[in-house]
Amino acid sequence: MLISCRSFTRITLLILGMSLLFSFELNAQEEISLAVKIDSVYKDQLELSRAERRDSTKTAKIATGEGILSFLGGPGYTPELKLIIAVGGLYTFKTNKEDSLIQRSSVTGSFGITSTGGQTGKAILTSFWKQDKIRIYGDLWFKNIPDNYWGVGYDNALNIPKSDSTTAYNRLYWQVFPRFLFRIKEDLYIGPVLDFNYTRGSEESAGVLADPDYQKYGPKNYNGGAGIILQFDSRDMPVNAYHGTLVQAIGRIYGKYLGGDNNYYLLDIDFRNYQQLGKTDGQTFAWNIRGRFTTKDVPYGEMSMLGSPMDLRGYTWGRFRNESMIYFIGEYRHMFNKRATGERGKHGFVAWIAGGSIMEDVTKIDNFLPNFGAGYRFAVQPRMNVRFDFGFGRDNFGFYFNFTEAF
């Protein structure tokens, strides 16, 4: 795979940006000031003291169920967004401070500006209520970016050249995706799910305007759907599991009964397993198999796609799309221990290998998209990591900056 000089320059800028990243880590609940100039030896000692005090403060707040807010900022590069500068926050809290057993809930959010003049933002809620008898999840997505659309199907993705005259257009997109789960027995949950999303294309190139699916559904599509989610979850911590299993199925029906423009059906099946390796927490083998299947009048913007920051990291998100998709990921995760105490430290890494396919008919899988990569982890809060992933696809690469794990 050849990497152009321009791409090499972008990677160099990313590496330089990473070297400055951790100077931006903040804790909103604490303010530490320095009043005098000090020599270098004393400064090193003071920095260690600040880090110890910060960790001690976080530990105390976690023990009492208090909320903790952390901020980070840094660069990223993805095939569809190009160079992006993003700022993000992670807020963790307990819905009941008196419940010593309930997990901490979390909200992550980020906003970024791309080198192509686009804007992108997201917020992810994972919350636990009433002794974990109720779980509420929520995803908010927003994109207003110069984008590319190759059409539908594997052949179009491979054979249509990317250019201002064949694939370019501007895309405005938003999604509101809440899920409500109620425990019916240990580790087993069921509940309703809603999904509202909107796609609007503009400044389309000639190739996009000539695409039959784009002509069929038009530049504007609003979709409203409702359904049911069934979940078995034995993971020790959903946002960063060391052991356990998730089996989840979500069925949704989209139509005009919720004001949508299109009638279609969607089934999303997700299996994840986590195995602790060795005797030390933080050394985990995680694997994920997921299938997303749609049928009937599915608009081009809501077809199954590969290449997101949660699956085949390194591909252009949206290039490979069809009615259905299947992928698998095997990922090794390792958090280093502190030499002095043997406790789990803040730094770690991951490495993964993955692959997937898109198809119109699930009985006819005739393509395969390989994927692999590695990443760095830094724990901004206990078991709450910021991740920097560098992934490779068949003819693409991407550098991703996100809170929490990919799956």
**45 within a domain of the structure (yes/no):** no
Residue 6 backbone phi and psi in degrees, to 5: -65, -40
Question: Is residue 287 situated within a structural domain?
Answer: yes
Domain span at 192: 5-29+67-403
C-alpha 252/C-alpha 270 separation (Å) is 14
3-state secondary structure of 228: strand
User: What's the pLDDT tens digit per position in 212-235?
Assistant: 999 999 999 999 999 999 999 999
- Neighbouring CB atoms inside 10 A of 400's CB total 21
pLDDT, the chain, mean? 87
Q: Does the pLDDT of residue 35 top 70, yes or no?
A: no
Phi, psi of 396 (to 5 degrees): -140, 165
Question: What was the pLDDT predicted at 20?
Answer: 37
* pLDDT digits 0-9 by tens, 362-371: 888 999 999 9
Residue 164: inside a domain, yes or no? yes
pLDDT per residue over 67-112, tens digit each?
999 988 888 888 888 899 999 999 999 999 888 789 999 999 999 9
- Say if residue 10's pLDDT is above 80: no
What are the Cα distances from residue 116, in Å, to 64, 86, 320, 345? 45, 14, 21, 37
pLDDT given for residue 52 in this prediction: 61
Does some domain include residue 304? yes
Q: Is the pLDDT of residue 54 over 90?
A: no
In the chain, how many domains are there? 1
Per-residue model confidence (pLDDT) at position 2: 38
Residue 59 within a domain: no
Contact 307, 79 (CB under 8 A): yes
- What pLDDT sits at residue 94? 94
Pairwise CA distance, residues 150 & 355, whole Å: 20
Q: Is residue 23 part of a domain?
A: yes
Report percent pLDDT > 90 for the chain: 72
- What pLDDT, on the 0 to 100 scale, is given for residue 74? 82
- We report the CATH number of the domain holding residue 396 as 2.40.160.50
Contact 22, 71 (CB under 8 A): no
Q: Which amino acid is at 301?
A: G
Residue 174 in this model has a pLDDT that exceeds 60: yes
Identify whether 183 is part of a domain: yes
Domain membership flag for residue 89: yes
